[in-house]
Structure 1
């Protein structure tokens, strides 16, 4: 949400954020923002598109989705080496089966068109668990140059935390690992962790943070 982005901008000094809201009428609404450390990276290119039959149309709702859904990508250029890193963040619909299936197809098409030879990271709330269609479509997806996407779960040297990433704010919801991070197979994943820290009363969100420490 826009107010949360503003808070992050204060808390995370030295970071910039890219990404448009999913609803052009409600600019304070949900984003699939990408943050990057400006001391290390320049953003060479970025775009937000809608998961619908009109991906360039702001606020468009696709297929059987309950809400507008978006994806944001950013090509980040290392200031020291000049190497690129392609990041794409998305949020698939929670209600529409067709919207998730068609949405991930659109996401992968865009990833194919912008990744080129850069190491790639695809991440987001897929609203589906391992084994369901949208997940299966992304897992192992072959980029135009032959590299494949792999689930960070499968390649991480160290893993930590619960298998679920969902809460009801007070308790974990079992078997709901719906937040996924995929990397191109030229990216090494050192650690993947689902962070279940909480205060005495509740979790900070209905989703747990998924942290992936990786390097090309």
Structure 2
């Protein structure tokens, strides 16, 4: 993937932190730590000891989140019981919003988890990416229902309001991915607030229709490219439990409205004893929203 910035202007890539040190961690002052994590849904018939087995991965997700402690976390693919693990890792001060994509608690969630000490929830909603967005389980004739969860917050440190939009775009239909990106773009524009978008887009940053809709045409910032500092190298964000590919496709994104300051970004490749928390790497950003 070609670099979007000339080599001389690119921020330096720092070496990854030791395993017991967060890449970003709890933010200071008015900065926000945002993370996007496709947690990989729990599959009932996986075998203990295999990479996908959720009971083996759950302690790794807990350790990762307990160390990083994001202010805002966009989660994709999580079943309800997995959300219990996620919020439990972060502690009693965190809350979550979002329903399953089949309705209620059923199916995968694209939930928003937030630090309620810092952020006051003002409003939240969820809709399906379809021609009938209020109908649970509806689609644009693609295989899996896809949802958008959004939440409006007041930052108690600054008194400012902000919007967080989280989604998981379709893995097969390019048309559905592009249409979903247009829905998200319209929502962010209509809100007129500082906003952050987290997602597993199933589309490569820099060379896909959703990226064109949201970044090239839509004017949102790609936090990885706009970061003043990067904690670690650019690697693909879907290593599928293997070694992340240098310069590989970034299909997991954190985007922000254009007047934001991106202090740092990270693609988190932490493992424990050679085991991964998920088949995706978390992506993180340290932001100041206008």
Report if TM-score (shorter chain) is over 0.5: yes
Q: 1:190 aligns with which of 254, 259, 263?
A: 263
Aligned to 1:126: 201
Q: 1:77 aligns with which of 128, 134, 154?
A: 154
Equivalent position SS for 1:199: coil
TM-score by length of 2: 0.67
Note the C-alpha offset of 1:173. 5.1
Cα distance in structure 2, aligned partners of 1:197 and 1:46: 31
Cα distance in structure 2, aligned partners of 1:173 and 1:28: 34
Aligned to 2:173: 96
> If you compute each CA radius of gyration, which structure gives the higher value, 1 or 2?
2
Structure 1 residues without counterparts, runs of 5 or longer = 143-147
**Is the CA contact (8 Å cut-off) linking 1:125 and 1:179 kept in structure 2?**
yes
Equivalent position SS for 2:188: helix
Aligned to 1:17: 96
Equivalent position SS for 2:277: coil
Cα distance in structure 2, aligned partners of 1:208 and 1:80: 30
Looking at secondary structure, tell me which structure has more strand per residue: 1
**Is the CA contact (8 Å cut-off) linking 1:165 and 1:194 kept in structure 2?**
yes
**Are 1:159 and 2:230 counterparts?**
yes
TM-score by length of 1: 0.89
Cα distance in structure 2, aligned partners of 1:153 and 1:70: 24
Aligned length, in residue pairs: 207
In 2 relative to 1, CA 67–173 (structure 1 residues): closer, same or farther, beyond 3 Å? farther
Cα distance in structure 2, aligned partners of 1:206 and 1:133: 24
1:134-189 Cα offsets, whole Å, 9 max, x none, are: 111110454xxxxx311112210011333210122133356231001111112111
Higher relative contact order (CA 8 A, sep 6+): 2
Note the C-alpha offset of 1:52. 0.9
Note the C-alpha offset of 1:203. 1.4
**Is the CA contact (8 Å cut-off) linking 1:90 and 1:125 kept in structure 2?**
yes
**Is the CA contact (8 Å cut-off) linking 2:235 and 2:245 kept in structure 1?**
no
Aligned to 1:6: 84
Aligned to 1:212: 285
RMSD over aligned Cα, in angstroms? 1.7
**Is the CA contact (8 Å cut-off) linking 1:70 and 1:91 kept in structure 2?**
yes
In 2 relative to 1, CA 156–39 (structure 1 residues): closer, same or farther, beyond 3 Å? same
Aligned to 1:145: none
1:64-111 Cα offsets, whole Å, 9 max, x none, are: x22000111111102243210111011100001111111111122222
Cα distance in structure 1, aligned partners of 2:215 and 2:196: 12
Cα distance in structure 1, aligned partners of 2:182 and 2:134: 15
